[in-house]
Structure 1
Amino acid sequence: MSHHRGFASGVPSWVDLSSTDVDASVRFYGRLFGWQAEMIDDPEAGGYGQFVYDGDKVAGVGPVSGEGMPSAWNTYVATDDAAVTADRVKNAGGTVVMEPMRIFEEGTMAIFQAPDQSFVSVWQAGNHKGAQLVNEPGAFCWNELVSRDVPAAERFYSSVFGWTPNTQDMGGMRYTEWQLGGDSIGGMIEMPGDYPPDTPSFWMVYFAVADLDRAVGDARRLGANVLVESMDTPAGRFAMCVDPQGAPFSMIQLSETV
């Protein structure tokens, strides 16, 4: 099992869901992935909680930050110093949406927007080190930027996190793997033309499942829309869904060789 007690700086370390209906999201993902929600019993936490799978913290959940905001899964990248990362964001042409803020004794977070309009967060660990389980069924296993401006994204994320883009042709589609220290830590594709024209660049979160066909069937029965039916990739078979509250996410049955 891929248990973690911390992540190297520059590696995606946590994901959380901003939901228009937290209770409904808790029910949906609980039934889909077998997660249990542990909500923080403190008014200052703003209704935030954590999804737990078999005793491991795997993701967060909380209400959207403002009226009219859509539900969305958010990606957090580990950093040793959120303030230094914020300075890099400004120097790289990005926007600091939320300055580094201490979250109790758990750690420090900040939210940025890249020049391609994608949002990304960082987490400087305190007591909370990030996800305790990754790359296994029931946990997130991949983070992929769907970008409307790939060159701008390459410049920004390389400058801020030290990532190296490794782009290859995959069946007529150019796919980029973000690499750090020689390891692949995320991906990027150009947003396909069949997306609605007002869809901004965004980070897609992939969750590993043991049986994709069963998971897709369960998601559909629970009220999700399946945008991309099961497709084969070198990493495994995946499908893309939108949950009942409108948050896109993907599921993948990882190949044994991955």
Structure 2
Amino acid sequence: MAAFTEGMPCWVDALLPDVEAGKRFYGELFGWTFEEREGRYVEALSDGKLVAGLAPKRDGRMPTVWGVYFATADAAALSRKIRDAGGQVITAPLPVANMGTMAVGVDPGGAVFGLWQGGDRPGFEKQDEPGSFCWTEVYTRDKERVDAFYESVFGFQGTDLPDASIDFRMWSPAGTQPGDDTAIGGRSVLTDAFPAEMPGHFLIYFCVEDCDEAVAAVTRLGGRVQAPPFDIPYGRIAVLTDNQGAVFAVLAEPKAA
């Protein structure tokens, strides 16, 4: 399995009211197969490799949402850094059998994220390929505090996207030269175009072969289109909602000439 350096996105999962319905939706959309673990947690596989998880909501008040986990060698120490930097820890480090240790934090803008200290399960076995995770970004209304938070807690190297029509900051892991080639995620801003009640949150991207075909499939499967397909320098993307209300995005990278 791949090793993940500190702060790298290493896992994503969806919190759903109906995991069986989620299996049908994402199995059809991405071609995933599934294996159930203890506690009704379901691991999704693409070409036999781990790519994501689906988890049942234990309480109807919990959000239906996709979440991201960042890799760490020491979840307890990183939890302390989260508090020291102005964030919160809402789930203290918790061993998950022999697979690893998880924790859940909240940044100063209210966005929730996970920590994962890998054991037998370091994280993704496949990424940056169709049917797997490829990108994440946090949306916030408090960019100054949130930028300082992630760059302090994870050591991210931040660089603002030049000549962009939106206020966007890319993150590269600590010890790397910031830039497109090293970026693993980013920060965007919740503008007046978003509903006033929308909290800070992460958006998860999955690679697909064809963005427009993925959008058509989501619609056919009972999901909704939040942002129709549009082109960016890195490919063609769309923001979607599954048939239970979890928001995610898809990216089709430019095809080679």
Query: What interval of TM-score do these two structures reach, taking the shorter chain for normalisation?
Result: over 0.9
**Does structure 1 residue 20 correspond to structure 2 residue 17?**
yes
**Counterpart position of 2:83:** 90
Deviations 1:196-248 (A, max 9, x none): 21111111000000011111101111011101111111110000001111110
**Counterpart position of 2:150:** 157
**2:100 aligned partner, one-letter code:** G
**Aligned to 2:65, which of 65, 68, 72?**
72
**1:36 aligned partner, one-letter code:** T
What is the aligned residue count? 250
Deviations 1:4-34 (A, max 9, x none): 5221111001100110111111110000000
Give 5+ residue unaligned stretches, structure 2.
Answer: none
**Aligned to 2:101, which of 102, 108, 113?**
108
**Counterpart position of 2:26:** 29
Provide the secondary structure at the position in 1 that maps to 2:183: strand
**1:150 aligned partner, one-letter code:** K
Cα pair distance change 1:76/1:162, threshold 3 Å? same
CA distance in 2, matches of 1:16, 1:76: 8
**Counterpart position of 2:200:** 201
Mapping 1:1-258, distance limit 5 Å: 5-40=2-37, 45-180=38-173, 181-182=176-177, 183-256=182-255
**2:66 aligned partner, one-letter code:** W
**2:3 aligned partner, one-letter code:** G
Provide the secondary structure at the position in 1 that maps to 2:51: strand
CA distance in 1, matches of 2:29, 2:191: 27
Aligned-pair distance for 1:255? 2.3
Provide the secondary structure at the position in 2 that maps to 1:86: helix
Give 5+ residue unaligned stretches, structure 1.
Answer: none
**1:209 aligned partner, one-letter code:** V
Provide the secondary structure at the position in 1 that maps to 2:145: helix
**2:155 aligned partner, one-letter code:** G
* Runs of 4 or more above 6 Å deviation: none
Aligned-pair distance for 1:161? 0.4
Provide the secondary structure at the position in 1 that maps to 2:26: helix
Q: If the length of structure 2 is used for normalisation, what is the TM-score?
A: 0.94
CA distance in 1, matches of 2:72, 2:205: 21
Aligned-pair distance for 1:169? 3.9
CA distance in 2, matches of 1:31, 1:215: 10
Cα pair distance change 1:205/1:170, threshold 3 Å? farther
Percent identity, aligned pairs only?
A: 36
**2:16 aligned partner, one-letter code:** S
